[in-house]
Structure 1
Amino acid sequence: MPLPSTDEIIDDIGFFDDWEERYQYIIDLGKALPGLPEEACTEDKLVPGCQSQVWLITEQQDGKLQFRVDSDAIIVQGLLALVMAAYNNKTPQDILDFDIDAYFNELDLERHISPTRGNGLRAIVTKIRKTAEQAH
């Protein structure tokens, strides 16, 4: 099942009355990600700055960047799904042009995750943006 678009995610999140339901939605999004085989979860694929382990693999095809991600924490897997909705299968320029701060603000996300999770989320975004800058 493909991930919904960022606009769909924003709309979906708005349907839930409380953050417990929103967390469950985010976790369910994470479960939709295919994950990585164990042998792909190597030290060189780890994203530094994350509290949980997060692995990121990048490929470029037809001018677009594809990301495959995995985490050892279910809520982080859900946060990765939010990031993948914004960045996966986009051109480097699309990635650089996307206002991730506005997206996170629209989700009201960073007020509801721990500071260490927020730092990890920023580390993932930074890594993807640097990859897009290099591919640009």
Structure 2
Amino acid sequence: MATEAFEEIVEDFEFIEDWEDRYRHVIDLGKAMDPLDDALKVPSTKVDGCASQVWLHPRIEAGLFSFDGDSDAMIVRGLIAVLRCLYNGVPVHDVTAIDARAELERLGLNEHLSAQRSNGVRAMIERVRLVASEA
């Protein structure tokens, strides 16, 4: 059920065997993302439960879900980029059917993130699912 953009990340990870290189790739994905406008970094877009500062700005246009995001931590910014690839462009009614944990396991991320980072990823996923379920 993953998007084409997420499948590309999976394919990239198949060729990157060393976890440090994968980590750098995630950071590079975050660096390639446009920064979130400071005007959107408000309490309503802030994600609680993350060790670092995280903002997600969701949109639903023509029935498709997408979001932009930002963080003050490079690895978290990269994780936002990965989640964007997983969710952006998906019909809003299909968002909650995505098993994000299983998809991220395909990248081996779950076993290499600290407990705090894993909790932050869960918080971001829950925010995405909540917004989509309320649409």
Q: Please, what TM-score do these two structures have when normalized by structure 2? A: 0.92
Residue pair 2:96, 2:132 contacting (<8 A) in 1 also: yes
The Cα of 1:11 is off from its aligned counterpart by 1.0
CA distance in structure 2 between the partners assigned to 1:121 and 1:131 by the alignment: 16
Residue pair 1:55, 1:69 contacting (<8 A) in 2 also: yes
CA distance in structure 2 between the partners assigned to 1:39 and 1:100 by the alignment: 29
Q: 1:24 corresponds to which residue?
A: 24
Segments of 5+ residues of structure 2 without an aligned counterpart are none
The Cα of 1:15 is off from its aligned counterpart by 0.7
- Report whether the alignment pairs 1:41 with 2:41: yes
The Cα of 1:94 is off from its aligned counterpart by 2.3
- Aligned CA-pair RMSD: 1.2
The Cα of 1:116 is off from its aligned counterpart by 0.2
Q: 1:105 corresponds to which residue?
A: 105
Partner amino acid, structure 1, of 2:107: L
| Local SS of the residue matching 2:117 | helix
The Cα of 1:34 is off from its aligned counterpart by 1.0
Q: Deviations over 1:31-55 (max 9, x none)?
A: 1211212222122210010111101
> Superposed, which structure 2 residues align to 1:1-136 within 5 Å?
5-135=5-135
Partner amino acid, structure 2, of 1:117: R
CA distance in structure 1 between the partners assigned to 2:65 and 2:100 by the alignment: 17
CA distance in structure 2 between the partners assigned to 1:124 and 1:52 by the alignment: 12
The Cα of 1:66 is off from its aligned counterpart by 2.1
Aligned pairs, number: 132
CA distance in structure 2 between the partners assigned to 1:17 and 1:44 by the alignment: 39
Residue pair 1:53, 1:72 contacting (<8 A) in 2 also: yes
CA distance in structure 2 between the partners assigned to 1:74 and 1:97 by the alignment: 28
4+ residue runs over 2 A deviation: none
Query: Identity of aligned pairs, percent?
Result: 39
Q: Please, what TM-score do these two structures have when normalized by structure 1? A: 0.91
Residue pair 1:67, 1:89 contacting (<8 A) in 2 also: no
